[in-house]
A and B are shown apart, each in its own frame.
Chain A
């Protein structure tokens, strides 16, 4: 369980890092928190010739307010998301979900950029990016582009990033005023990747649901939205009947597969249960029944 030989570089700027990627093409890999990359190196699932360590690039670990949202640097650690007062007040769903990610030691290292770029189908941050309609900035020597979360996750462990692109930041637009959120997942043990996870955002006005977003993870090659389920809720009242119907629709939208830990059928069942729980919690929060 030793990695194959590799060279190592620790650039001080995004430009330098981008230049290294451009030079080495697919033979180079960015190293952020290392919590997913290093195990893959040790398993020899990846044998890059060069590791480009971005941890020494200044300015990539900020959480900043921007008009109508927040901007997060790629090196923001899971633990920062979990504990930041700004996140707690603007995106409490992120703080809540981070508590379910791995263990403290891993959360201290793991980064939002690494999690999104790694694109594990069961990971929480990709689910949240999709749910919160994040805009993801990628930089290369060719320039910069912004990718919508809905276009970002293309297959299991695969994203729209080109091999020479660096994810530098993520913008999160504020959810509609007065909205409520819910997040629910089931993992085999504390800190394990979820068998299924569901995040929801809903907003009501005058007893009518104006916004409904449902995203799920662990039940498809990428995180998924459940548009049919969302449509069922939008424009209606958020009663138990509607929630149950939307949960069934979310389960129908899941694309789970059998694996060692759970069958597709059980995962689909979980999506329904978790969606129901998350929607109920979101409604209660929107109605200020719970914080």
Chain B
């Protein structure tokens, strides 16, 4: 068989190799590690949004049986430096995040004191016996209020609650807007959302006094970033620090930052010389894991009468919470809203301004889609508003304004570059899958029968697999643009492939093995993927920003190709053949056109065990390390369609149908891509209809448990149809594009448009998400009053 025609693992629906372990309860999550002598931490967290810490009395807690130690922020002041997320961004004011609060607290849930005890039960009992004298300070929980000059300051040293601002501009947006025959706009609001991974955050610090080595078992997406941070904050060389993220139960961005609790267990383990575990419970998770969205966007779109977009302007206020998350900074989410707002559309004139405002809430951080769910919500709503006013079909209006095939690479209004991508192909595929004209006819009939049916679309583009030329967060000094793979073959002929990425549910042990096995010419079962552990890597960050398939896939491909050359060279010697006549396949190397072959095992044994007999130029280990840097990154895109029905009396919203056509370039494993889309869309539906972190005017979290913070369950999620458009990426090795986030980007916008479409007879525009029955009730009441 010709090599090109061999069945490939890349592209096949390979079952996830990690699933038997995970589904039978044999995973090793951070909380599963229980080294001898381990003690537990419970945290006393602030009950006040903003207060001065006067006195912390820990005597009663200390004296309880089973309590090992109790610490306050002041007592650990020397143990580690505070975390400061820096940025080269011009108008960014860096603020420090303490490990335990010192001087004052800045949000409800901020860690104030730590109890170390023999069990978590005892630690919690003791934490309740710590007495703290708080002197409450005024606080502005509403970001617009907090942005005012007279608002109480959270961080006095930066003299304003506006901790960042930035502007993007192209053309003359003001003039083009003034000249536009049609202008549509609104104040859009996407409320604060929790990240909510299934596994709560959990950290276990283990310090070996004899070797002075620190191991941190962490439920993190970014073991590499955590290792670098611990080294710097604790003043330890990195070769003494290992961060292990073996199995991680979901991250979605909430585990992509370095947390005070993570630093705390490391510090306590070093100080106490015992393994120290902190396992967050769900209440703490809702209070203190980084949060998402929460932007107010005043946006306007100027359109010509034929539907051509002329200009877009936006003013964004982002509520970034009390601290600037490490290392991404508070700028990550709100700045990304402005930079992605123009979407996949030709945008001659754009002006987007953003301000990030500190408020007494848990810090805002990365969340699946970062900025783009909000950007897509706003842009896609504006498109529909304009289309409706002009009497143009919403799909036609999108298609007409898409960056066209001949315009790639296209620089967007904010400077992002779209490489060749399948914008139009995705839209067409959705149209066909829906049988769109028939669907609209059905909608008309259903409406005539009194049903409120809506059809909504969202098209978006995102930048994935970002290389070293652009920081993943604005002005961030950390390099997130490279990934290194080390592949080695041992004497048994089996392959170990070591990566710096950290799978937290994506199935990287499967997809990376597919890529490596294909390139190396071995069977899938002969490849073991090592990831989620800093031990094997000089420099690494982790898994976030839809980077792993592109970057680690690319590095794996390069390293596999280099290793294959070595294997073929050795085999050529052993088989007395020419390298060009050899082919590696199914863990064997054969002389093309003959029945002579050697297994990888035979080759490896010869190389290692009869080393002396190999010619000097072949005396090398079967190992290769390659770094991959996609330089800029690649465009992923999709069109989503939602069909919803609203109960005309109760305003309950049901999603009847959901279709996604997405372009993530070459699909490594369609089953995994489907799973990523399904999960992302489910989160997006939650964001659109249910999920909201509600803080009161003072900064108290009202939706602090899963009784009040509502996530969708299977019953709320419709079946989904997913169509894969594999537009080749000209910019990445293997043609892969990132696809871990897209579902969450498209779904809120599609649902918002579908709900608006269902309400079209009443002239209601959905401008606030989540759009709950309560909000719909108020919108409908207001519309009826107007009539």
Chain A residues in the interface with B (C-beta under 8 A): 1-5, 43-44, 186, 188-192, 195, 260-263, 265-266, 269-270, 273-274
- Tell whether, in the assembled complex, residue B708 and residue A260 are in contact, meaning their CB atoms are under 8 Å apart: yes
B283 at the interface (CB under 8 A from A): yes
* Known pairs A1-B281, A189-B690, A190-B713; A195 contacts B773 (CB<8 A): yes
Alpha-carbon distance between A43 and B124 when the two chains are bound, in angstroms:
11
Picked from B121, B649, B694, the residue with its CB within 8 Å of the CB of A260 is B694
* Chain B 624-664 interface residues, beta-carbon cutoff 8 Å to A: 649-650, 652
> Which of A2, A269, A274 is close to B121, meaning CB atoms less than 8 Å apart?
A2
B282: chain A residues within 8 A (beta carbon): 1
- Across the two chains, which residue of chain A brings its CB closest to B128? A44
Q: Which 3 A-B pairs have the closest CB atoms?
A: A190-B715, A1-B281, A273-B649
A188 contacts B710, C-beta separation under 8 Å = yes
Q: State the CA gap A115–B652 with chains docked (Å).
A: 26
Q: Contacts A2-B121, A260-B702; is A270 near B710 (CB within 8 Å)?
A: no
Contact B708 A191 (CB under 8 A): no
Contact, CB under 8 Å: B777 / A269: yes
Could you say which residues of chain A place their CB within 8 Å of the CB of B778? 263, 266
A98 to B574, CA, bound (A): 74
Scan B218-236; emit 1 where CB is below 8 A from any A CB, else 0.
Answer: 0000000000000000000
- The 23 sampled A-B contact pairs (Cβ below 8 Å) are A1-B124, A1-B281, A2-B120, A2-B121, A5-B125, A186-B652, A188-B690, A188-B773, A190-B713, A190-B715, A191-B715, A195-B773, A260-B694, A260-B708, A261-B774, A262-B774, A263-B774, A263-B777, A265-B777, A266-B778, A269-B777, A273-B649, A273-B650
Interface pair A189/B713, CB less than 8 Å apart: yes
Q: Which of A189, A195, A263 has the most CB of B within 10 A?
A: A189
B120 touches A260 (CB 8 A): no
Asked whether B716 is an interface residue with its Cβ less than 8 Å from the other chain, the reply is: yes
Say yes or no: A266-B777 contact (C-beta < 8 A), given A1-B283, A2-B124, A186-B650. Answer: yes
Which residues on the A side are within 8 Å of B125 (C-beta)? 4-5
Question: Quick check: A270 and B650 within 8 Å, CB to CB?
Answer: yes
Instruction: Please give me the residue from chain B that is nearest to A261 by CB atom.
Output: B774
For chain B residues 557-585, which have a beta carbon within 8 Å of chain A?
Answer: none
Smallest CB-CB separation from B708: which chain A residue?
A260
- Which residues from B are CB-within-8-Å of A266? 773-774, 777-778
CB proximity to A under 8 Å, residues B716-743:
716
Chain A residues lying within 8 Å of B128, measured Cβ to Cβ, are 44
Tell me the minimal C-beta distance from A170 to chain B in angstroms: 26
Complex: A19 Cα to B650 Cα, angstroms:
49
Which residue, B124, B282, B649, B774, has most C-beta atoms of chain A within 10 A?
B774
A189 to B773, Cβ gap below 8 A? no
How far apart are B49's CB and chain A's nearest CB, in angstroms?
Answer: 18
A262 touching B694 by the CB < 8 A rule?
no
B contact residues vs A (CB 8 Å cutoff): 120-121, 124-125, 128, 281-283, 649-650, 652, 690, 694, 702-703, 705, 708, 710, 712-713, 715-716, 772-774, 777-778
Residues of B within 8 A of A262 (CB): 773-774
Q: List, in ascending order, chain B residues with CB within 8 A of A186's CB.
A: 650, 652, 773
CB of A191 within 8 A of CB of B713, answer yes
Distance between A215 CB and nearest chain B CB, rounded to angstroms: 19
A192–B710 touching, CB < 8 Å: yes
CB distance from B617 to the nearest CB of A (A): 63
- Cβ contact of A189, chosen from B283, B694, B712, B774, cutoff 8 A: B712
What residues of chain A lie closer than 8 Å to B283, measured between beta carbons?
1, 43
Query: Please, which residues of chain B bring their CB within 8 A of the CB of A261?
Result: 708, 710, 772, 774
Query: How far apart are A166's CB and chain B's nearest CB, in angstroms?
Result: 27
Task: Select from chain A the residue with minimum beta-carbon distance to B283.
Answer: A1
Given A2-B124, A262-B773, 19 more A-B residue pairs with CB atoms under 8 Å apart are A1-B282, A1-B283, A2-B121, A5-B121, A5-B125, A43-B283, A186-B650, A188-B772, A188-B773, A189-B690, A189-B710, A190-B713, A260-B702, A260-B703, A261-B708, A261-B772, A262-B774, A266-B773, A266-B777
Q: Which B residues are CB-close (under 8 A) to A5?
A: 121, 125
* B652 proximity list for chain A (CB < 8 A): 186
Residues of B within 8 A of A273 (CB): 649-650
Q: How many Å lie between the Cα of A274 and that of B633 in the bound state? A: 53
Complex Cα distance, B703 from A174, in Å, reads 42
By beta carbon, the residue of chain A nearest B280 is: A1
Contact A190 B716, CB 8 Å, known A1-B283, A260-B708: yes
Output the least CB separation between B292 and chain A (Å).
18
Closest to B284 in A: A1
Q: What is the CB-to-nearest-CB distance from A276 to chain B, in angstroms, rounded to a whole number?
A: 8
CA distance A261 to B125 in the complex (A): 32
Cα separation A265 to B694 with both chains bound (whole Å): 20
Docked Cα-Cα span, A192 to B703, in Å, equals: 15
Q: Closest chain B residue to A103 by CB distance?
A: B713
Residues of chain A within 8 A of B124, CB atoms compared:
1-2
- Which residues on the B side are within 8 Å of A192 (C-beta)? 710
Q: Which residue of A lies closest to B120 (CB)?
A: A2
Partner of B716, one of A2, A43, A189, A270: A189
